[in-house]
Amino acid sequence: MKKGFKELCHYMDVTGQCIKMAFMTIIEYPSSIAGWLISNPLQFIMGFAIIKFVVESFGEINGWNYGQLAFLYGISVISHALSMIFFVQGWFMGYYVIYGDFDQYLTRPLGVLYQFFFTNINIFGITDLIPGIIVFIYGCAKCQLAITPLFLIQVIIMLVGATLIRGGIYILIGSTSFHTRSAVDFGQYTQEIMDKTTMYPISMYPESMQFILTYLIPVGWVSFYPVSALLGVENTVLNGLAVPFVTLAVGLVVMILAGAYFTSGLKKYESAGN
């Protein structure tokens, strides 16, 4: 117990240093800040403008009104931003595998996966966070939600779970490179799929699709199921106030599976010849 606590402190201490260095790196190249600050929020604000247009033209999407869609969109973008901050390195894992860049992590006394993500922590992801929070607050206001402590806990739990699901999926896909010995830049594709399945209610897709998104690639749990339950929009496979906690559970399961798959891959790691 005491040992575990000491280890946690060690990891927190290193994380603090990594975040400090990430900020220093951003400051080192100030010109790129401006570009990101403009292009990233714009991308999501535009996306939301499209939803607004669609809803205003058709009234609602599959029983979801404008405010509820804004809430869903906000949650989706916030969890996307969090996964960008902590787990975006997963997109490039294949390159680390084939160029032997895991060597340095393996020779240091910390978890390899931890070092891989946190020494490369992507503070720029904050630029995605801002539009997400704006749209989310806007959605809360439109739905006239009462902000209670329970509600806040549910939202936070849901976001943690959603971020873990996204991160776990990046790790699972990235770890295939240990076995295939090739690097695939899958970031674009996954983001495309994730966006289309987490920003809108998945109940608008065919049932077979919904089955896949619920049980096989559990992205339905990132935003659709918990938000639907929280706002009481639709009757789905699971209803009730505990659904955000199910999201967290799904997130943990995906993460544990991803971690195990990564570890088994790391045993096959071949580094790169000198």
Partner 1 sequence: MIKVENLSKDYLLKKKAPGLSGALKGLVKRNYEEIHAVKDLSFSIGEGEIVGFIGPNGAGKSTTIKMMAGILTPTNGSVYINGEDITKHRKEVVRNIGVVFGQRSQLNWDLRLGESFELLKHIYQIQQKDYEATLDVMDEILGIKELVDKPVRQMSLGQRVKGDLVAAMLHSPKVLFLDEPTIGLDVSSKFALRTFIKEINKIKKTTVILTTHDLGDIEELCERLIIINHGVMMEDGNLSQIVDRIAPYKTLVVEYYDEAAPEHARCEMIEHEGNIAKYKFMKQETTAAEIIADLSKEKNIKDVSIEEAGIDDIIKIAYGS
Site residues (vs partner 1, CB under 8 A): 10, 13-14, 16-18, 21, 24-25, 28-29, 100-104, 106-111, 119, 266-271, 273-274
As beta bridge partners, residue 61 has 64
Q: How far is the CB of 118 from partner 1 (least distance, A)?
A: 11
How many C-beta atoms surround the C-beta of residue 130 within 10 A? 17
Which one, 103 or 192, has the nearer CB to partner 1?
103
Closest contact distance (angstroms) between CB of 180 and partner 1 is 11
Q: First-to-last CA distance in the chain? A: 42
Rounded distance, CA 239 to CA 226, Å?
8
| Closest separation in Å from C-beta 123 to partner 1 | 13
Q: C-beta of 30: minimal distance to partner 1 in Å?
A: 12
* Pair of tokens at residue 259: 């971690």
Q: Enter the tokens of residue 260.
A: 């195990």
* DSSP letters spanning 133-197: HHHHHHHHHHTT----HHHHHHHHHHHHHHHHHHHHHHHHHHHHHHHH------HHHHHHHHHHH
Measured from the CB atom, the residue of 21 and 50 that comes closer to partner 1 is 21
Determine the Cα–Cα distance for residues 76 and 198; give it in Å rounded to an integer: 6
Phi, psi of 72 (to 5 degrees): -60, -45
Compute the least distance from the CB of residue 55 to partner 1, in Å: 44
Beta-bridge mates of residue 143: none
Residue 29 Cβ vs partner 1, minimum distance, rounded to whole Å: 7
181 φψ region: left (φ > 0), alpha (ψ -120 to 50), beta (else): left
Tokens in use for 258? Answer: 């991803």
Nearer to partner 1, 24 or 260 (CB): 24
**Is 121 or 164 the residue whose CB approaches partner 1 more closely?**
121
* C-beta closer to partner 1: residue 180 or 235: 180
Nearer to partner 1 (CB atom), residue 115 or residue 197: 115
Q: CA 219, CA 75: separation in Å to the nearest integer?
A: 13
Q: Judged by CB, which is closer to partner 1: 29, or 58? A: 29
Minimum Å gap between C-beta 271 and partner 1 is 6
